[in-house]
Structure 1
Amino acid sequence: MRIAISGSHSLGKSTLVRDFQAAHPDFQLFDEPYRELVARQERIHFGERASQRCNRLMTQQAIDRINQARLQMPETPVICDRSCLDFIPYSLYARAMGSNEGLPRGERLRTVEVRPDMQEKNGMPFPSDINAAFIEQLWSMILESQALASYDLIAFLPLTGEPGIDPCLENDGIRSVEGAYRAWVDAAFKQLYRHDLPARSPQACQVVEISGGRPERVKSLEEAIGLA
Structure 2
Amino acid sequence: MRIVVSGTHASGKSTLIGDFSAMHPEFEVLPDPYELIDGAGDEPDAGLFLAQLGISARRLLEVERGARVVAERGPLDFLAYLAALDALGRPSRGGRSIRALELTVAAMAHVDLLVVLPLSRDIHAPDDEDPELREAMDDALLELTEDPDLVGGARVLEVSGEPAHRLAQVEAAIADLGGS
Shorter chain as denominator, the TM-score bin is 0.7 to 0.9
Q: Which consecutive residues of structure 1, in runs of 5 or more, have no partner in the other structure?
A: 100-127
In the TM superposition, what is the alpha-carbon distance from 1:167 to its structure 2 partner? 0.9
In the TM superposition, what is the alpha-carbon distance from 1:157 to its structure 2 partner? 0.6
Segments of 4+ in structure 1 off by > 6 A? none
Partner residue in 2 for 1:157: 117
Partner residue in 1 for 2:78: 87
Partner residue in 1 for 2:50: 56
Would the aligned equivalents of 1:7 and 1:13 in 2 still touch at CA under 8 Å? yes
Identify the match of residue 140 of structure 1 among 64, 81, 102: 102
1:9 aligns with 2:3: no
Specify the SS of the correspondent of 2:25. coil
Q: Which amino acid is 1:215 matched to? A: A
Using a 3 Å threshold, how does the CA distance of structure 1 residues 98 and 35 change in structure 2: closer, same or farther?
farther
Q: TM-score, normalised by structure 2?
A: 0.86
Specify the SS of the correspondent of 1:86. helix
Specify the SS of the correspondent of 2:145. helix
1:33 aligns with 2:45: no
Specify the SS of the correspondent of 2:70. strand
Q: TM-score, normalised by structure 1?
A: 0.69
Using a 3 Å threshold, how does the CA distance of structure 1 residues 35 and 203 change in structure 2: closer, same or farther?
closer
Give the aligned length. 177
The percentage of aligned residue pairs carrying the same residue is 28
CA distance in structure 2 between the partners assigned to 1:97 and 1:179 by the alignment: 12
Q: Which consecutive residues of structure 2, in runs of 5 or more, have no partner in the other structure?
A: none
Would the aligned equivalents of 2:7 and 2:138 in 1 still touch at CA under 8 Å? yes
Partner residue in 1 for 2:163: 214
Partner residue in 1 for 2:140: 188
Partner residue in 2 for 1:68: 62
Larger radius of gyration: 1
CA distance in structure 2 between the partners assigned to 1:76 and 1:204 by the alignment: 16
In the TM superposition, what is the alpha-carbon distance from 1:206 to its structure 2 partner? 1.4
| RMSD of Structure 2 on Structure 1 (CA) | 2.3
Identify the match of residue 179 of structure 1 among 126, 131, 150: 131
Would the aligned equivalents of 2:33 and 2:56 in 1 still touch at CA under 8 Å? yes
